[in-house]
Structure 1
């Protein structure tokens, strides 16, 4: 395995056939505290901002340490591309994170490695195929229209729409709908038990993911016991939905050929005698898909609405495009319309560049290797930015602090070195590219086009600055945008 980008000509060393000119100890990096190292600098809701600032200060590869454990941060684009291609053979997720996710029943393809990952990847990709998403599209439209009616009623009664809350509620409805075939109607039902259980899991997952010590394995606080109950309840709910789906598929055999949600598609795949899938595989992947599909998509839409409201010129261009595509319709009901929003696609790409929901990925090297001319020993933790490296560099994106969707629109396909999409990795890359990427893109188009078709956006300039808040995913601290009905 070799993730080397370019070997320097000076002081080249050779270890086991790997050529390099420096080791981790030779890399620059910030000073740490005795015992703690840089651990305290990497905690809190702004740790991704701290790592991004260090990129500017120490360059495309630098080192940190946590309690004496070395960590390498790599932002070199070529090196990141090579690292992603080397997964899962050369690199894997942090074992600590995988264990903590599995403890809360959030596992499946996200925590699997090796042959187990290949088996489960097939299960999930089949469940989130273009065919399944297209079959679910009318239901997604119904859910989006339900939120539109809620917002219209609120404005008619002089109430302000809570975009932050409602966007997350709709994202939860959609992902539970396509993953499990279950209509939560969270937008209008804030007391739904499954919603509260999933929220509990997400809060504990975020807390445990940054905890210095896994205390819950020795003693459990009330919040940990509550999270355990939530994990059990979610698991039992999913098992019930699996049984209901199997009964429904027996009564309607055509669903085996034309599944309408991820659960039905996974059941079909699991019944292949050679698949070796268990009900636990179905449960864990259904839960993981829901957890992975709520905050990521809701945060992306929330950030886009914030940015559009602060950039009226871009908002007007997007509204004009949406009007032209939808005509008299208030939201999209035609699958083919999803291909007719180039400016919306550009606005989404620009949002990902500036405010990715997953700004950093963490990997663990499975063998000695070379990354950016640096010898990386087996077991080294590597952090890499998905968009916050080149994406926030004027050399690659002039006026990088500005929201400019136009930078993603070309008359002719750009050369690889000029293609901005090759400089960012918001959905990961290689074989472990996010399996929910296509669903997220369709959901963003559906919801944002509905918003721009029906409402004007007014940013509250008196509101406190919107902060980047990192929990398990990165989202805005608020969405201080007022909706008013368009004439």
Structure 2
């Protein structure tokens, strides 16, 4: 297989090697490395192989070459070259489509450009800023729930509550509906999303697409969940259209998308509106909750970092329990650094699957058309020449005045939101929510690890999630006349 790549390489391109020349981990007969990639820790295999074989190596998956890339310069080039040079991996798109997850995430070419415009109309700064007071009220509600439960001696399930909070925010912003999942255990929409992501994670890391031949009960449950999510989103769209005042500016993501879709020159279809509305709800719940969960866990493990963050939050908020002014979010320098360090150690999107649209050269290597290329986004995050003591949680390395002169700026070494023109459109919303919720937590609660709890494992549910958030909250001794 690999020998033919060198023979077929077009002479018009300049390159020093072919895929066959790249180092490769040893695989198994017939299936190559496919079995080594199966499972919910697949991303950890990539990181380990990066350390062993370097920033560019190859795999053999059922007779097909797969190229893994991790160095920042090459990754930036690949991400900038989308969607013209590279498209999203076809296998991933098929798996997502089978579970009714589509929209801008899997669109390509002109369809992507059109849908990107639709989605960005609903995630612009004006829409998120208009939603800010509602997000603050929801965060206050989460604070009150925890305060009440602690006073009553009841346990707090941080993983559950953070996911419910993220769902409340994305449904509130995107759909303009309040579902209050935080205070209603077992919210049906959250259960449906959990089922969907669990099956998505299983299918994207499976060695063989068994569900196309035999469906297990979990597969049928996930497909029912997908149908239920679509039914709820279609109802949200119908209700929003009925109550919209088209004389005022859109106040939610869905309103902005409806306005954009109703422009006769837009070319948007109702199908595209529905698919992107579903994507916003499904994608907005898991990623942000996972990011906050990992950050809270790492802060609990590193009290000195938690103390530094608390000092910053106290100084910014004064007597308030959480951010009440939009401009305060710009003042959280250490919080930004703690988020960046969290994403370096526990990125929620540990790889990006691409496929080459044409013969090309990547890092002096000939890549034939339709070759699978996987960007290992966490690859350089554990390079000790770039990040001394790479296993340590040190937010200071992201702050120029605290960083030793010998250390380079790490900002372009990790890719928590992707990059290039396909940078995650929900990035600004995610950062706003993370700052709001984490600031509230460290302002009002002390963090300690649950005694005897095992370290959470990394589970690839499409996005990378913690198996648990084993952190105990305790009320801080604050002036309880603090303004709310």
The aligned length equals 470
Q: 2:397 aligns with which of 399, 407, 410?
A: 407
Q: 2:372 aligns with which of 381, 396, 400?
A: 381
Aligned CA-pair RMSD: 1.9
Q: Distance in 2 between matches of 1:99 and 1:56?
A: 31
CA contact (8 A) 1:123 1:270 kept: yes
Q: Secondary structure at the match of 2:393?
A: coil
1:128 aligns with 2:123: yes
CA contact (8 A) 1:270 1:277 kept: yes
Mapping 1:299-314, distance limit 5 Å: 299-314=290-305
1:481 aligns with 2:474: no
Mapping 1:214-253, distance limit 5 Å: 214-249=209-244, 252-253=245-246
Deviates more, 1:69-78 or 1:121-130: 69-78
Q: Distance in 2 between matches of 1:55 and 1:240?
A: 46
Cα distance, 1:158 vs structure 2: 1.1
Tell me which residue corresponds to 1:28.
Answer: 23
Tell me which residue corresponds to 2:309.
Answer: 318
Cα distance, 1:144 vs structure 2: 1.1
Q: Distance in 2 between matches of 1:14 and 1:202?
A: 40
Tell me which residue corresponds to 1:179.
Answer: 174
Q: Distance in 2 between matches of 1:143 and 1:129?
A: 20
C-alpha spacing 1:479/1:412, structure 2 compared with 1 (3 Å): closer
1:143 aligns with 2:163: no
Q: 1:81 aligns with which of 66, 73, 76?
A: 76
Residues 296-322 of structure 1 deviation map (CA, whole Å, 9 limit, x = unaligned): 111111111111111111101111111
Q: Secondary structure at the match of 1:394?
A: coil
1:169 aligns with 2:164: yes
Q: Distance in 1 between matches of 2:224 and 2:339?
A: 37
Tell me which residue corresponds to 2:3.
Answer: none
Cα distance, 1:235 vs structure 2: 1.5
Q: 2:411 aligns with which of 394, 400, 421?
A: 421
Cα distance, 1:208 vs structure 2: 1.9
1:292 aligns with 2:283: yes
Q: Distance in 1 between matches of 2:9 and 2:38?
A: 37
Cα distance, 1:237 vs structure 2: 1.7
Gaps of 5+ in 2: 1-5, 478-484
Tell me which residue corresponds to 1:333.
Answer: 324
Tell me which residue corresponds to 2:482.
Answer: none
CA contact (8 A) 1:23 1:374 kept: yes
Gaps of 5+ in 1: 1-10
1:439 aligns with 2:429: yes
Q: Secondary structure at the match of 2:472?
A: strand
Q: Distance in 1 between matches of 2:217 and 2:155?
A: 35
Q: 1:91 aligns with which of 61, 86, 91?
A: 86
Cα distance, 1:191 vs structure 2: 3.2
CA contact (8 A) 1:76 1:372 kept: no
Cα distance, 1:335 vs structure 2: 0.9
Q: Distance in 2 between matches of 1:461 and 1:469?
A: 22
Tell me which residue corresponds to 1:365.
Answer: 356
Q: Secondary structure at the match of 1:187?
A: helix
Q: Distance in 1 between matches of 2:402 and 2:410?
A: 13
Tell me which residue corresponds to 1:395.
Answer: 385
CA contact (8 A) 1:124 1:435 kept: yes
Mapping 1:237-276, distance limit 5 Å: 237-249=232-244, 252-255=245-248, 257=249, 259-276=250-267
Cα distance, 1:413 vs structure 2: 12
C-alpha spacing 1:114/1:52, structure 2 compared with 1 (3 Å): same
Q: Distance in 2 between matches of 1:214 and 1:229?
A: 19
Cα distance, 1:97 vs structure 2: 1.2
Cα distance, 1:166 vs structure 2: 0.8
C-alpha spacing 1:327/1:412, structure 2 compared with 1 (3 Å): closer
Deviates more, 1:236-245 or 1:87-96: 236-245
**Structure 2 length-normalised TM:** 0.93
C-alpha spacing 1:414/1:266, structure 2 compared with 1 (3 Å): farther
CA contact (8 A) 1:128 1:436 kept: yes
1:69 aligns with 2:64: yes
Cα distance, 1:254 vs structure 2: 4.0
Q: Distance in 2 between matches of 1:465 and 1:220?
A: 33
Tell me which residue corresponds to 2:480.
Answer: none
Residues 417-436 of structure 1 deviation map (CA, whole Å, 9 limit, x = unaligned): 93211112111111000000
Residues 351-392 of structure 1 deviation map (CA, whole Å, 9 limit, x = unaligned): 111110001111001111111111111111111122x22211
**Structure 1 length-normalised TM:** 0.93
1:354 aligns with 2:345: yes
Q: Distance in 2 between matches of 1:419 and 1:316?
A: 24
Q: Distance in 2 between matches of 1:14 and 1:31?
A: 25
